Amino acid sequence: MSEHVVGYDGMWMPPGEDPRAFDVPEGELANIRGYLTNYRLTLGLKCEGLNPEQLARRSVPPSTMSLLGLVRHMAAVEHHWFQRTLQGHHDVQHPFWSTGDSDFDFNGAVAEDAVVTEAFEAWREQIALADKWLDALATDLGAIVRTPRGQEVSVRDVLVHMVEEYARHCGHADLLRECVDGRTGQ
């Protein structure tokens, strides 16, 4: 049986071209942000070079999950936790939400250029807004905030949850990308 190696000795890209940083930053917030940034970049990398049909492809029926759906989902997740929960903007609707379809972020991920453009623009916008808030963070990570449903959580819990959310979905993205074109690694 032959070894399954694609790309650059099983890596996603040539050494030296990886935009992610793997040094361990000093301080808890910097460390959490480092992981969050790397996972955001990883999701983007898993989507690079694909056309709308490939991005919208659902590879494990009956699941609605696709790479495009993951990008839309993460735009909504970024918005929910950073805008609505951490900043208290409870009255602002998150992107890709439909009261009639709780899975709209995935169900609406169709193979159209405009849908792809909207998804990536919304995701990048939510990341920029979150990073702007994090850059100005002047509170203790143990500070308590209320979710839109009234639950109390610490800022730390939200940030760690975001790392967890990306880690889980980057695992999905690995498998989805491999089903699209066989590309694996990193």
pLDDT in the model for residue 6: 57
Q: Which amino acid type is present at position 112?
A: E
Angle between helices 113-135 and 28-47 (to 10 degrees): 170
Domains of the chain, start order: 46-181 (1.20.120.450)
What is the mean pLDDT of each successive set of 10 residues along the chain, which is 186 residues long?
54 70 82 95 94 93 94 96 93 81 92 98 97 91 92 96 97 92 78
pLDDT in the model for residue 177: 92
pLDDT in the model for residue 3: 55
Structure tokens at 128: 């920029």
Beta-carbon count within 10 A of 103 CB: 12
pLDDT in the model for residue 101: 87
Q: What is the CA radius of gyration of the chain?
A: 17
Is-contact 42 64, C-beta < 8 A? no
Q: pTM value?
A: 0.89
N- to C-terminal Cα distance for the chain? 23
pLDDT in the model for residue 61: 81
pLDDT in the model for residue 59: 79
Question: Which residues have a Cβ under 8 Å from the Cβ of 34 and sit 6 or more positions away?
Answer: 21, 23, 24, 25
